[in-house]
Structure 1
């Protein structure tokens, strides 16, 4: 049972090896929701070659951003969203915190729908009962925390690798000789690439949560590469399998994703269903666990708790209850749900990740006053109006480029339904925030005269004035 919460992990508790990030992120990506997301490339009208190309481009590009966030955890020793106080201020950080908690809830609902459909069809129990059963398992892992999530990832990564290799071979053998997409055009290709980039970028608020216990001297390159390999390569592989499944199964994959895959091996279909459900545990547990850390960073200045395990257990219990109810109410077509949730969260997170990475790598160059992050009226202040304004304007700039099932922006329509909003949000957010820090009345990277404090600079600690 993890004893810590969002305060900085002390040196004596920093353990683990960088390669543990490989198994964690491989297990988190190589699971049923990743496969269903990959199937969207075919559902949205691409042929198989373009679907595979879109999957690779989206994941390999989007994975760069999430892997760069992972480096922050091992260097700073704190969860991902607490660091947003340095950019937005204590109260200003509540804005991205609220967005991230909503994202966690959205993905938890997605997972509940997929898993619930599978157990409902497999055991012939009510859909609502099936969702409750699946979510209770996930709740136990999330309540235990960091160590159990990592341990589950190491075990399940082996199970998932064997299972999805078998599915890859089986589906490959049943691919038709020719498959023609219904809507292969530049606009649609860019839309599909955006979906896969969003899969990776929406991991960004998670990653430091799972690298913060690594020793501070862990090389940044190792943290980056193991995270990138597990997430980008793992997701690309399972999503290609998802595209294969959509070509072979069509609407059957939408109606019951896990059931369709299990019936590829009728003699052991029950075993396949069990393996697919078990394979989703690490990714599913990260939702309530991350939501706890993120929520605490938005409401607690010091981050200290009388009993972190009890607080975490109570929170993940309440979070799981809400997501379970919403999953039951959202018993609808899986593909449409996945598309809307992933794209919506991408629009809100792309500007945040641009601001956060620009601040860490270009403005402060990894130098943060960790103690001040836990002070309500400390060095980073209550509210950084400039950063909040950059974030909100970046989202507004994205709107004309958006393409979803509920809204298509005028520029996206003019571009043949291409969705490049996330690229606009990243570039505009990064450049505008950099300009804000350089041209503003005060430079956030410049230490201000005050009492002595400990700064963390690229993995080393030293005494400096604030």
Structure 2
């Protein structure tokens, strides 16, 4: 069969220094990864002292320690389990996540969730870079230097941005090797941090934290899910597209879930112990999460702590930049993959410079931004998960690039479902940072159904759950016939 010129032919990603494959199908000869290889990128990107900061944010919802333990465990594990389900598509179609979602949204329709995905990735990677720069400044101050120096912050920004962009430009093979090394470095220092800060825990104070209402518990749960697995879900298949076709779906789900959730569950729980013991730390985390955590350490360990913290944040940002570059290509930008990663790197650098040198507050607007994008992203995830679980055969890889193929140009059922679910979801979330991000105060117009904007449920961010569940249910039933027709047509065409 001759492949039309507008459809990229399968190609090798290149095991050399720079990965040459973009969004095209990965050649069979390059698909040599095993499910357990997925452990390294997910674990390295999430074994960070930054995870301890979530302890303060979870308790900030007004819940008890034991409620925080349940919320942290369920939220982290379930959110990465959802990532594992989407990772299955990478093995079945050997293409990036957003290209694979063309099967559910249509070849052109995929650009709708694609824009949301790109904005989410850019936001996350910029946030991680900002955290690395601010942490550097704080630790330098503790060492007796001038952490507020403009020159220091410029140097830190350049180094952090250069590390992130360089690794993402080099691509998949370099990143996989890098992550396996970073796992041991960041993991060892994180364990050291835990051992050194155990004496700061005041169990009596922690256990004295009063319990919260169901609305407060759900709010904390949504925050944890959005901050961990749901924050990565739009790139989950990018790291499984090099998997062997014979790889077990269950193994892919398991290693994705274990790699992503093992460290965060323990770190968030330990973070609640620290935050519940120290009101000053609880408050300081809001402005400089990692820098605030560094204040608990003796001077001799600050340098390795800083190195490990920055490397862990860089590790997470590298995954984001790499995947945001692939998403940019899926939107129709016709440039090489390394160039796409470099463009996103420039955006990251500009965003980091703006926040570090000019913005007066960023955590509030960022979290507001995250919840706003989290609603349509949750809807997209529900639709794609339903599509993946309904299909019985691998994807028609060429049709993913041909609007005249079996997946069509636009799937109006999916697009309509995402639009309606997002409108409903935004009505059930509230802008918790009204003063810092007044541009987002339009949300919450359906909260009157659950007690109004002043009730406990107002801060539960139910809209994220509703968008995910509603979209999954609609797609599960409404698209089954279309999926079966696509697969039957594929068998007939193959015959």
Of 470, 480, 486 in structure 2, the residue corresponding to residue 428 of structure 1 is 470
Alignment CA distance shift 1:317-1:178 (3 Å): closer
1:171 pairs, out of 178, 186, 197, with 197
Contact 1:245–1:253 (CA<8 Å) still a contact in 2? no
Q: Give the structure-1-normalised TM-score.
A: 0.88
**Mean CA deviation greater in 280-289 or 258-267:** 258-267
> Contact conserved, 1:142 with 1:316, CA < 8 A, in 2?
no
Q: State the Cα deviation string for residues 70-122 of structure 1 (Å, max 9, x = none).
A: 12212221111101111111221111000001101211232132112112233
CA distance 1:402–1:290, shift in 2 (3 Å): same
Query: Which residue of 55, 62, 65 corresponds with 1:45?
Result: 62
Bigger shift: residues 205-214 or 111-120: 111-120
CA 1:238–1:387: 2 relative to 1, 3 Å: same
Contact 1:16 1:215 in 2 (8 A): yes
The CA deviation at 1:40 is 0.6
The offset of 1:449, in angstroms, is 8.9
Q: Does 1:115 align with 2:147?
A: no
Offset of 1:241 from its aligned partner? Answer: 3.0
1:464 matched to 2:494: yes
CA 389–147 in structure 1, closer or farther in 2 if over 3 Å, else same: same
Secondary structure of residue in 1 paired with 2:331: helix
User: What secondary structure does 1:299 align onto?
Assistant: coil
Deviation of 1:373 (Å): 0.5
Task: Specify which of 284, 307, 332 is matched with residue 317 of structure 2.
Answer: 284
Aligned-pair CA distance for 1:191: 0.1
- Alignment-derived partner of residue 234 in structure 1: 263
After TM superposition, the structure 1 = structure 2 runs for residues 171-210 of structure 1, keeping only pairs within 5 Å, are 171-176=197-202, 177-179=204-206, 180-181=208-209, 184-198=212-226, 199-210=228-239
RMSD, aligned α-carbons: 2.5
CA distance in 2, matches of 1:365, 1:330: 52
Structure 1 pair 70/313, CA: closer, same or farther in 2 (3 Å)?
A: closer
Structure 2 Cα separation of the partners of residues 332 and 43 of structure 1: 22
In structure 2, the partner of 1:213 is 242
Residue 404 of structure 1 pairs with residue 446 of structure 2: no
Q: Does residue 266 of structure 1 match 2:305?
A: no
User: Which has the larger displacement, 316-325 or 262-271?
Assistant: 316-325
Q: Spell out the pairing of 1:6-405 with structure 2 (5 A cutoff).
A: 6-123=23-140, 124=147, 125-126=149-150, 127-176=153-202, 177-179=204-206, 180-181=208-209, 184-198=212-226, 199-247=228-276, 248=278, 249-263=281-295, 264-299=297-332, 307-309=336-338, 311-328=339-356, 331-333=359-361, 335-337=363-365, 339-362=367-390, 364-405=391-432
CA distance in 2, matches of 1:218, 1:448: 21
Does the 8 A contact of 2:47 with 2:186 survive in 1?
yes
CA drift of 1:331 comes to: 4.2
> How far apart, CA to CA, are the structure 2 residues paired with 1:130 and 1:431?
47
- 1:413 is displaced (CA, Å) by 4.2
TM (norm. structure 2) is: 0.83
CA displacement 1:327-373 (0-9 Å, x = unmatched): 336745565355324423321211101100111112x2343211010
* Cα distance change of structure 1 residues 446 and 252 upon mapping to structure 2, 3 Å threshold: same
Q: Any conservation in 1 of the 2:329–2:337 contact (CA below 8 Å)?
A: no
SS in 2 for 1:446: helix
What residue ranges of structure 2 are gaps of 5+ in the alignment? Answer: 1-17, 141-146, 435-442
Report how many residues are paired.
Answer: 447
Give unmatched runs, 5+ long, in structure 1. Answer: 456-461
Deviates more, 1:420-429 or 1:237-246: 237-246
